[in-house]
Chain A
């Protein structure tokens, strides 16, 4: 079973601060996705990273895939209250049936 551990589990910060969320596994993933889920809604896909070492930017969000494709990070610069939500990483493990595994989630609260 491929597990994705996210840290921190909870994060409460002031508007304007920077933060990093981590997604780690002992397994290799062929790709990793990051989602954001707001209360009462389904998760929304933010980005997919595919290549080891890849960095993708989405406005104030920077996503990085580890060189060995076992981990990923999400960095938010100058957090806004609209960034509040549950952040989930997910990915299909390499080899065989690529069942998608979801991370344990990071709940972010940005205080105005």
Chain B
């Protein structure tokens, strides 16, 4: 069973561009979570989605950030008009139910 896949692993964007981060959950997992992590810090919750529904987006900035988990295809975290402060590692996790989460390798976003 393949693990959680994230791509790209590294993404460089100039200020003002858009960043699209993709996450394919483990087979059979219908819960997806996105986290952000700055160097030397813990994980900060951003958003929790189930298929076609956003369950909790309380950790996601209201502007420029959006997330989706369509019926078909990967979950997408989209950051519009990126700024330097968006530079971080973004991790996706999936779970078959509430509780244990399985993480992908992360996408490291650098905004120049």
Contact = CB atoms under 8 A, between A and B. Distances in A.
A joins B in a complex: yes
Given A42-B91, A105-B42, A99 B56 contact: yes
A103 B100 contact: no
A99 B43 contact: no
A97 B42 contact: no
Interface stretch (A43-51, A55-63, A71-79): A43-51
- Chain A interface size, as a band, is 20 to 34
A88 interface: yes
- Chain B interface size, as a band, is 20 to 34
B25 interface: no
Contact of A45 (B33, B48, B100, B106): B100
A41 B98 contact: no
A90 B45 CA distance: 12
Interface in A69-107: 86, 88, 90-92, 97-105, 107
Interface string B38-53: 0011110100100000
A64 interface: no
A109 interface: no
A102 B55 contact: no
Contacts of B101: 33, 45, 90, 100
A42 B106 contact: yes
A42 B103 contact: yes
Interface of A: 30-31, 33, 35, 40-45, 48, 86, 88, 90-92, 97-105, 107
Interface of B: 4, 33, 35, 40-43, 45, 48, 55-56, 91, 93, 98-106
Given A98-B99, A101-B45, 11 more contacts: A33-B99, A33-B100, A42-B4, A42-B103, A43-B43, A43-B91, A45-B101, A45-B102, A102-B35, A102-B45, A104-B42
